[in-house]
Amino acid sequence: MNFYYDIATASRLALESIRAHKLRSFLTLLGIIIGVASVILVGAAIDGLGVYAEGVTAKAFGTDSFLVAQIASVGRLTRKELAEKQRRNKPIRPEDVAYLNAVTGETHLYSPYQQRFDDARGENKVYEGAAIIGCSHTLPEIRDIPIVDGRFFTDTEERMRRPVAVIGEDIRAALFEDANPIGRRIRVSGQEFTVVGLLEKQGSSFGRSLDTPVYLPITVFHQLYGSRRGGTVFGKARPETGLDLEDALDITRSALRVRFKTQPGAPDNFDTLTPDSVRSFVGQILGVIAAVVVPVTSISLVVGGIVIMNIMLVSVTERTREIGIRKSLGARQGDILLQFLTESVILSMAGGLVGLALGVAAAMALSAAFGTTLKVTLPYVLLSIFVSSTVGMVSGWYPARRAARMDPVAALRAE
């Protein structure tokens, strides 16, 4: 009971002192406010980047698909690693995709995927550097291809090499402005195509627009640009098989190892990539960023702690006579220590809460103003509150201890 009474008394005295010196208290809080707000903003940016990368990965892969290519890596390869992969790995050609369909097509869906950058023309307008993508009609079943109007091309159109195309929002806006593009004509590499589908607006990824594709049947793509260059293959287990991602990938790997005559025990002479490997790489990068940036940002909290310590030392000096009176009336060292320590902790926690509110508000404002993804998460909120409280306790300990050890007679003589 005495403990709670002591805490209540110390809190009351601390609040009275803070109210008596409002401007000084506010200036004392600034360092903590700025530090906590910075930590919240940085944490929101890091977690938001993770959410953004997850969304980009989902758009590129879907949820349970994988890709196979001669070279596929989520990290930057050294020249030696790149040369080794180019020497060892086999390019994935159309006949290899046909082999996969023949051997594992009953359990898997596959789509070749090749990309070139070329101009797209229509109605006396041109879009320079469109992403011309050749793929199979199965691609929308393998990964997310959101179509807002029209449809994707069919198996028949692919086999019959029909000149049809599915375009992105940037292509539509540049070539047809606000008109519906379905049924309109565009020209790519001198050949005319009928637009049969319009993709949903995707936005951008790391500053690069995702709304520039022109999807063509892979058979038509090969007519335009040739078929000898290696490409990528997206794959996925058919839903009715019940195979998970790892099992589906293992079956594909086994088939390609036979196709490419890979020796038993030798590494794959092709590359594979899954959403999990991309997520793992992104997680490692974000972890490194957090490990470097968050401590640097927290330096302002240390500065705020130093400010609190200095102000509390000044406060102790100003209130020397008050301390002597309290001690003469029976206050123990622990009571004086608790009074000044409580005041320091209240100051730092108040700064932490104000900084938290400002950080959250700034994150929401920046997200709304620039369309960015800033996600305030509980770990960074708890971290900021814990650190600000700890800073207050550590910073206030020396001034409080100094006040508690004062000689009451000498304190009463102070002017």
242-295 confidence digits (pLDDT tens): 888 889 999 999 999 999 888 888 888 898 888 877 777 777 777 777 777 777
Lowest mean pLDDT segment, chosen from 161-165, 189-193, 352-356, 403-407: 403-407
pLDDT confidence of residue 415: 52
pLDDT confidence of residue 148: 93
Q: How do the domains of the chain map onto residue ranges?
A: 2-56+284-413, 90-269
Beta partners for residue 92, in sequence order: 231
pLDDT confidence of residue 135: 94
- Token pair for 90: 């086999």
pLDDT tens-digit map of 297-315: 777 777 777 777 777 777 7
Distances (CA, A) of 171 to 139, 196, 224: 20, 13, 19
DSSP 8-state symbol, 201: P
> How many other C-beta atoms are found inside a 10 Å radius of the C-beta of residue 45?
18
pLDDT confidence of residue 1: 45
The pTM is what?
Answer: 0.68
pLDDT confidence of residue 207: 62
- What distance in Å separates the CA atoms of residue 103 and residue 47, rounded to the nearest whole number? 42
Lowest mean pLDDT segment, chosen from 3-7, 87-91, 391-395: 3-7
- Average the pLDDT over 32-42 and give the result: 82
Q: How buried is residue 339: exposed, middle or buried, by Cβ count under 10 Å (0-12/13-18/19+)?
A: buried
The mean of the pLDDT values for the chain is 82
Kindly tell me if the per-residue pLDDT of 331 is higher than 70. no
CB burial of 275-287 (b: ≥16 within 10 Å; e: otherwise) equals bebbbeebeeeee
CA dihedral 12, 18, 22, 24 (to 10 degrees): 180
- Average the pLDDT over 187-200 and give the result: 94
- Average the pLDDT over 327-336 and give the result: 69
pLDDT tens-digit map of 84-124: 888 888 889 999 999 999 999 899 999 999 999 999 998 78
Counting residues of the chain whose pLDDT is more than 70, the rounded percentage is: 84
pLDDT tens-digit map of 134-169: 999 999 999 888 899 999 999 999 999 999 999 999
Strands 125-135 and 147-150: unpaired
Quickly state the pLDDT bin for 327 (edges 50, 70, 90): low
- Average the pLDDT over 312-321 and give the result: 70
Query: Do residues 166 and 132 make contact, with C-beta atoms less than 8 angstroms apart?
Result: no
Name residues whose C-beta falls within 8 Å of residue 360's C-beta, 6 or more positions apart in sequence: 40, 376
